[in-house]
Amino acid sequence: MRIRVSLATAALLGLKNCNLKVKPTTLYFLLSGECKGNCLYCEQKKGRLARVKWPEFDFEDILEKIKNIETKRICILSIYNEGSAERIAEIAKKIPNKAISTCVNAIGKKEMEMLKKAGVERIGIGLDCCSKRVFNKWKKNVPSWEEYMKALKDAKEVFGKVSCHLIVGLGESDKEVIDLMKKLKKDGIKISLFAFSMGLETKVELERYRAIQIARYAIEEGIGKFYFEGEKLKEIKVPIIEKDAFMTAGCPNCNRPFYNERVSKIYNYPYELSEEEFIKAVKEAEKYARICITN
């Protein structure tokens, strides 16, 4: 079986020779083959997801390397194609002693149950779009918005541990993304934020992304109040902001280093921020919306 491997993962496994500024704390794999979906923001057909290259290898040849490496989690990313869930299950059965996550499109409950039985510990649903309006503009030849909503509900019932992937920068309003994040929190679903990337460029302004990161943090902690001017975020009131507000969010031990960013302009920090980086990130958010620390 052939499988694609993120470039940083390939370097960590000794399959590629490249300099790693930050090591991935999860091993990332992507099913090979053609994705039948046509999401207009996705560049899989060009060999990329976001800014990441995914060279292809024989899975059996790298299985021993996977078993012997110390990273705590493996993430298997799906494509929208018949039999993808079965292929993920086949891979998961061969990997012992690792927490396994998978990121999928809207699949059925029976497929989820099969994945759990195969050893998948938690699941992420690649909704990506923050409203039905934005979804209908960007996601083509894939299940409907309603089917994705059902998949999130089913995943919560089957796995308990569920993440929803959201991309900021696809034309959603601030209110749309915050309203959806509130709904996900209410439903017990973790939020994984991504910045919109095409090719090597990240397309969402950093200041806006920082404010949305604080909003995600506040929503997940249950501590924020949000004020809008129309659909635009005007002010966030929070009693505290921690450094992990600006770090990669999602599954445990996932840091996705430089998935959406350059080393010189980081959107999701793949490590704990220094005090200087933390202060800078808060100031960046304040250029977009008022951040009020309440006592």
3-state secondary structure 73-134: EEEEECCCCCCHHHHHHHHHHCCCCCEEEEEECCCCHHHHHHHHHHCCCEEEEEEECCCHHH
Does residue 57 carry a pLDDT above 80? yes
Q: What's 2-293's CATH class? A: alpha beta
Q: State pTM to two decimals.
A: 0.95
Average pLDDT over every residue of 223-230: 96
Reply yes or no on whether the pLDDT at 283 is more than 70: yes
Segment 21-33 mean pLDDT:
93
pLDDT band at residue 96 under the 50/70/90 scheme: confident
CA distance 92 to 119: 6
pLDDT in tens, 179-210: 999 999 999 999 999 999 877 678 899 999 99
DSSP assigned state of 214: H
**Reported confidence tier of residue 123, pLDDT bands at 50, 70, 90:** very high
The overall average pLDDT reported for the chain is 94
Average pLDDT over residues 207-233: 97
Q: Where are the alpha helices (DSSP H) in 172-272?
A: 174-186, 206-221
How many alpha carbons lie under 13 Å from residue 6 in its C-beta half-sphere? 24
CA proximity to 158, closest of 218, 78, 223, 102: 102
Yes or no: say if 217 and 210 are a contact pair by the CB < 8 Å rule: no
**In which region does residue 253 sit, left (phi positive, over 0), alpha (psi from -120 to 50) or beta (all else)?**
left
pLDDT of residue 49: 80
Q: Using CA atoms, how far apart are residues 248 and 271, in angstroms rounded to an integer?
A: 8
Residue 294 has pLDDT above 80, yes or no: yes
DSSP state of 18: -
Copy the structure tokens of residue 64. 């021993």
> Across residues 101-122, what is the average pLDDT?
97
Per the listing, tokens 């501590």 go with: 223
> Which pLDDT belongs to residue 224?
92
Confidence bin at 47 (pLDDT 50/70/90): low
